[in-house]
């Protein structure tokens, strides 16, 4: 009898332990963290777009970082949102364009109460190739559009009833800041979130017109030209701190300033019409450098931020005044003439994002070689090599922008023999091959990562 009672107690204890074990396992299963959402789920990655994983439970952020892997091995920063139980990875460099990447999260990632994730997780996601933003149409109120140059697919980004004047793309490629004038004549700089399509007013330009917005490389400062409606007040350059919501006015209010342009090293160049010089301003130290120049217009910064190239008129004789490209070295404070020959007109410089390769438009002032249009040329400054990419003599080639990989250029061309023809946006390889028309009646192209 005692043996039977002992067996019954043993069975009861075994059942109880088993039941407790099952309850414990079930409770652990209920409390175990799960991935609830991965973003972006069904759309390609762009530029510096973040990746986010949302969990059902509060997590140990360090364990996520240790068990989070991306096969492209991009450097980046990690953030944990306590309120949303969301883990976010923000790359420091743009995602590899046109590729497919795999994101993995190992089940060793643990919750705050040290329960493991239920199973390994893996996601495959494609990266968008760089896309080309442009304004269209040129003959009436223009708006922002985007084209995939590989597929030819077009997308409308935003439509403003009164049209868009000009724009700038943020360094991460996720926002576009553009200037508009509404029906009442009020001017604004508006921010477009490219992924959601939502717009917000960033600056209300009361008392004047805001033009030529330019965002700094770190995305914190917005430079623009402010044109006052008040009689006698000169256009000037303003800097808006997007983080502090404060304004800085540059230069002397008596001087006419325009054409702001940031360098990759965060110097701002602009042109002083009154004093006929370029000014280079450092927002951190407030240091200023100047370069005398009678021509003005657009310039271009080298990828390392050391060199600035602009156009200048050279008075050779009473009847000959060619325009040459001058390279200013901000480190050595020296100027070098890049154009060779007295019968050349070089304009519209544009530095490649790779090395010291410069694209520009050129035509000859020699009567025997003269043509109505300026052709697209490329110069290797270090190798001292130059070559033409186009030979369409009736067309001006301008608004040159390099593909982020430095292998292609987009540009706008205008028919000088038939001025009623609309402008066209074209794409060409750096070696002059595969010259392709992309858009008719479009202008102001910009690559977006």
User: pLDDT tens-digit profile of 272-319?
Assistant: 999 999 999 999 999 999 999 999 988 999 999 999 999 999 998 888
pLDDT over threshold 90, residue 17: no
Q: How confident is the model at residue 342 (pLDDT cuts 50, 70, 90)?
A: confident
Average pLDDT on 63-91 reads: 90
**Which band of pLDDT confidence, cut at 50, 70 and 90, is reported for residue 24?**
very low
Q: Do 260 and 224 contact (CB within 8 A), yes or no?
A: yes
pLDDT for residue 46 is more than 50: yes
Q: What is the pLDDT of residues 423-438, one digit of tens each?
A: 999 999 999 999 999 9
**CA nearest neighbour of 432 among 364, 393, 373, 386:** 386
- Any bridge partners for residue 16, and if so which? none
Domains and CATH numbers, the chain: 32-126 (2.60.40.3710), 131-448 (2.120.10.30)
Residue 274: partners with Cβ closer than 8 Å, 6 or more residues away: 234, 254, 255, 256
**Confidence band for 26, pLDDT divided at 50, 70 and 90:** very low
269 - beta bridge partners? Answer: 261, 280
Which has the minimum average pLDDT: 23-27, 74-78, 196-200, 400-404?
A: 23-27
**Which one-letter DSSP state was computed for residue 144?**
E
Write the burial class of residue 437 (CB in 10 Å: 0-12 exposed, 13-18 middle, 19+ buried).
exposed
pLDDT of 32: 82
Task: Sort 326 into a burial class: Cβ within 10 Å, 0-12 / 13-18 / 19+.
Answer: buried
Q: Are 412 and 367 in contact (CB under 8 A)?
A: no
Mean pLDDT value of segment 245-271: 96
Are 358 and 346 in contact by the 8 Å Cβ rule? The answer is no
């Amino acid at each position: 009898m005692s043996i039977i009672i002992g067996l019954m107690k043993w069975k009861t204890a075994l059942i109880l332990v088993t039941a407790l074990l099952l309850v414990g396992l079930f409770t652990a299963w209920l409390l175990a963290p799960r991935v609830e959402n991965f973003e972006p789920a069904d759309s390609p990655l762009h530029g510096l777009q973040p990746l986010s994983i949302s969990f059902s439970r509060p997590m140990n952020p360090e364990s996520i970082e240790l068990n989070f892997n991306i096969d492209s091995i991009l450097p980046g920063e990690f953030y944990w949102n306590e309120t949303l139980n969301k883990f976010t990875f923000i790359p420091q460099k743009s995602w590899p364009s046109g590729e497919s990447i795999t994101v993995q999260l190992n089940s060793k990632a643990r919750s705050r109460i040290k329960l493991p994730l239920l199973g390994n997780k893996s996601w495959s996601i494609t990266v968008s190739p760089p896309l080309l933003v442009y304004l269209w149409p040129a003959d009436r109120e223009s708006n922002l559009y985007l084209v995939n140059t590989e597929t030819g697919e077009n997308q409308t980004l935003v439509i403003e009833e009164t049209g868009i004047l000009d724009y700038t793309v943020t360094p991460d490629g996720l926002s576009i800041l553009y200037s508009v004038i509404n029906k009442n004549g009020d001017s604004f700089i508006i921010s477009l979130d490219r992924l959601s399509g939502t717009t917000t007013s960033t600056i209300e330009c009361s008392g004047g017109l805001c033009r030529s917005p330019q965002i700094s490389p770190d995305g914190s400062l917005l430079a623009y030209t402010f044109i006052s409606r008040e009689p006698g007040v000169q256009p000037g350059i303003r800097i808006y701190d997007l983080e502090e919501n404060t304004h800085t006015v540059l230069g002397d209010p008596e001087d006419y300033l325009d054409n702001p342009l940031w360098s990759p090293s965060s110097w701002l160049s602009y042109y002083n019409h009154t004093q006929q010089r370029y000014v280079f301003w450092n927002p951190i130290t407030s240091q200023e450098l100047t370069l005398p120049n009678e021509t003005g217009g657009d310039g271009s910064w080298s990828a390392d931020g050391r060199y600035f190239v602009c156009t200048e008129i050279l008075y050779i004789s009473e009847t000959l005044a060619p325009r040459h490209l001058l390279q200013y070295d901000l480190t050595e404070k020296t100027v070098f003439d890049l154009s060779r020959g007295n019968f050349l007109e070089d304009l519209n410089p544009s530095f490649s994002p790779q090395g010291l390769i410069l694209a520009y438009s050129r035509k000859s002032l020699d009567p025997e070689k003269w043509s109505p249009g300026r052709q697209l040329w490329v110069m290797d400054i270090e190798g001292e090599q130059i070559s033409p990419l186009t030979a369409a003599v009736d067309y001006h080639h301008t608004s040159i922008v390099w593909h982020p990989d430095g292998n292609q250029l987009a540009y706008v061309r205008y028919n000088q023999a038939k001025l009623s023809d609309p402008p066209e946006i074209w794409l060409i390889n750096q070696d002059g091959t595969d010259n392709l028309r992309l858009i008719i009646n479009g202008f102001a192209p910009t690559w977006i990562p």
